[in-house]
Structure formats: structure tokens, C-alpha cells
Amino acid sequence: MSHNVEQWSNVIMMQMPQGDIWSRDQTGPLYKYVSGYAPRLQRAEQSADQLLQEMRPETPRQLLAEWETYLGLPECSLTGQTIDQRRNAVVEKYHRKGGLQSWAIEDLAALLGYTIDVQEIYPHHCLRGCTYPLYEAKYRHVMRVIVKGVPNANATCLDDCLTPLISSSASALVCLLEKLKLAGKYYEYIYE
């Protein structure tokens, strides 16, 4: 909370020496001279208050571009994102921790604003139940990512032939997961 001009003028006047020629009268020339500096100090204090908001990645407004440059964003050359989406990407990358377990991938997507379920596909063996699916060998290194709540996510048989098979609304998530995946692992995306 910044001080007003009168408060800053009084503070500067308190710093002046004592004596007959240093009149503290509010109508005198010294007070008028000091009052000329007070608005500058008020603006500097307001700027410092705004800077406190810019220090954390959760609340930047003016320095969002600097945060993105510092963190190497936007990843995957995404354009047309809103301020909130850009800020969410900054917060996610700033607080990102290692690990690509299924729960960590779900948490990562939640930070970006997506709701997903990650299913690990394990091979069948003699200790599994009879109802466990028999996956082909190619699924050994695949994780299923079920993305929920993405509107118009995939084309249907009733769509025009120009309709893309997948919409770009989940492209930020797909790009990030593809960038972070383990070597030799793959994701299979299912949109619901």
C-alpha cells in the first residue's frame, strides 16, 4: 500500500535540518519544493508494490513475457493462448518436478488445466487373472492417456472431410507429453 503525496512530503520535511531558515510551514517555499519530489516517490513506491506481484510466477501481469523467456516458453510454438493459459504454463514449468510415473503425468496435466487418466499397459503372465487382456508385444512400451472434457476432440463419421481428426484444444498437452516422454516409450491418446 503506497503512501499519498502529503505523507511523502511530510517524510521529506522530517529529513530537513532544524533551524530558522528551514521553515516547516506548509505554505512556505521549502514545503512547495519538497512537494515536487513527493509524487516521484509515490510512483516509485507504487511501482515497487506492483513488482511484488511480478516476483512470483502465479501472479505476473507486466513481466509475463520475461517469465516465459526465462523458462523457455512457449514450448511447441503454441500461439493464440490466453493470458491465463500462458500463466498456467509458466506456473507448471516453474514448479515442475521430475518423474514420469502415471500419477506425475496426471498432476502435470492438471496444472495445465486438463483432466486425464493414465493407464499403464502391462504384459500378461501366469499370475494375472483370466480376464486380464492379452496385449500384443508392441503395447509393452505404450501408456494410454485418456483426456477428458475436451470439446470437439475428435472427428466422427458425420463430420465434414475437412474436419481435423484431432482438435488443437489439447495440442498443448500432447506436445508437452511428447517432449517429456521416456526414450522408447509411447503415448496412445484417447479423447472422451
133 and 67 within one domain:
no
Asked if residue 67 and residue 31 are part of one domain, the reply reads no
Are 66 and 129 in a shared domain? no
Pair 127, 85 in one domain = no
* DSSP-H helix ranges across 17-82: 29-54, 64-71
Other CB atoms within 10 A of residue 60 CB: 20
**Kind plus residue range of the DSSP H or E element containing 10:** helix 5-15
Do 72 and 83 belong together in one domain?
A: yes
Backbone angles phi, psi at 166, to 5 degrees: -130, 135
> Do 75 and 106 fall into the same domain?
no
- H/E segment holding residue 118: strand 115-120
Co-location of 177 and 123 in the same domain: yes
| 65/47 same-domain check | no
Count of the separate structural domains present in the chain: 3
**91/133 same-domain check:** no
> pLDDT digit of tens for each residue in the chain (192 aa)?
689 989 999 999 999 888 888 888 888 888 888 899 999 999 999 988 888 889 989 999 889 999 999 988 887 767 778 888 889 889 888 888 767 788 888 988 888 888 999 998 888 788 888 888 887 777 888 899 999 887 655 666 777 777 666 666 788 888 888 888 877 888 998 888
140 shares its domain with 187: yes
- Of 96, 120, 153, the domain-final residue: 96
Q: Long-range contacts: 151-155, Cβ < 8 Å, 24+?
A: 153/191, 153/192, 154/191
- The answer to whether the bond into 74 is cis (omega within 30° of 0) is yes
Q: Domain of residue 81: give its range.
A: 56-96
Q: Which residues contact 140 (CB under 8 A, 6 or more apart)?
A: 121, 123
Statement to judge: residues 74 and 108 lie in one domain = no
Boundary-marking domain end, from 66, 81, 96:
96
Is 39 in the same domain as 61? no
Triad 29, 41, 43: Cα angle to 5°: 125
Cell 476432440, located at residue:
153
Q: Are strands 115-120 and 186-191 parallel, antiparallel or unpaired?
A: unpaired
Are the C-beta atoms of residues 143 and 185 closer than 8 Å to each other?
yes
